[in-house]
Amino acid sequence: MRGGRLRAIRKELLGLTLEPAATMVGWHGSKLSRTENGQRPVSIEDFAMLVTAWGLPAKERDKILAELAETTSSGWWDRPIPGVPAEVGTLASYEADAVELVNVATSALPGLLQTFEYGIAVMRAVGAPAEDVERMWMARVQRQRVLTRVDNTAYVTESALRKPYGGLAAHQEQLQHLLRGMEIGNVVRVVPDAQTDVALLATWMWMRFPHTPPVVHVELPSGAVFVHEAESYTKIIAQLDRVSLPKAGSRTLIAALLKG
């Protein structure tokens, strides 16, 4: 996540505000903001030019550039897919760089944990164009591959677990998929509907990275936003840890729903 790392260098290492930092390289502040937020690509050459102009000491600069060169790789998100919102590619690139993901789901299970019939039904329920649904699902399958290498925790409301998107058979398959995932390391914690200590008003994902502060992806009816000031969301995760059922209790509840 080069943009996020640029932002951390600018703010935390060098103490530069956005507009002066942009002026130092002849950019508009909006261009630098989009670059740091992952809304435009940043090459290693641009990265080197920026941190050099900002005065990052050569020893630190060379170390960071060497790390970037070692980890540089392209992904499917570098090639836009017709019908798949650009923000999905941006999210996938963030997920690829993350070392930990925490999903908070209020009305449906997180996309990274969805099965085909259930996921397609959720997409239709939120108004995805019929002609784009299958391509959007394929992008979601590509995103799900990250689960083989990253720590993933999902806090899911009890009501979200009970909603049978796609019908009874699809719901049963989805719950079985959740239980299998829990056996191989995915953590699912159920947030009881009766708890009143934490108000969950949106679905979001908190992402932690090795070299930059966490970023949060928040889903909205009009699309999604990336939040780079994540402290309040980090506090909510700590609160959810206290009010949610433990892993064993969550598994028992999901198994009971499946049996019922």
- Tens digits of residue pLDDT in 34-90: 888 777 777 788 888 999 999 999 888 888 888 777 665 556 666 667 788 888 888
Other Cβ atoms within 10 Å of 44 Cβ, number: 12
- Are 216 and 107 a contacting pair, CB within 8 Å? no
The 3-state DSSP class for residue 41 equals coil
Give kind and range of the element (H or E) at residue 249. Answer: helix 247-259
Greatest Cα pair distance in the chain: 63
pLDDT of residue 6: 85
pLDDT at 180 over 80: yes
Q: What residue type is 191 in one-letter code?
A: V
What are the structural domain ranges in the chain? 2-71, 86-259
Per residue in 213-227, pLDDT (tens digit) is: 899 999 988 778 889
- One-letter amino acid for residue 190 of the chain: V
Do the Cβ atoms of 211 and 6 come closer than 8 Å? no
CATH of segment(s) 2-71: 1.10.260.40
pLDDT at 66: 80
Which string of DSSP letters, residue by residue, matches 85-138? -HHHHHHHHHHHH-SEEEEEESSS--GGG--HHHHHHHHHHTT--GGGHHHHHH
Identify the band that residue 160 occupies on the pLDDT scale cut at 50, 70 and 90.
very high
Mean pLDDT throughout 119-129?
95
Answer yes or no: is pLDDT of 109 > 60: yes
State the Cα–Cα distance between residues 77 and 65, nearest whole angstrom: 22
Domain 86-259 matching CATH 3.30.870: the answer reads yes
What is the structure's pLDDT at 260? 82
In the prediction, which pLDDT does 71 show? Answer: 61
Contact 81, 129 (CB under 8 A): no
The average confidence (pLDDT) of the chain is 90
Structure tokens belonging to residue 181: 């995932």
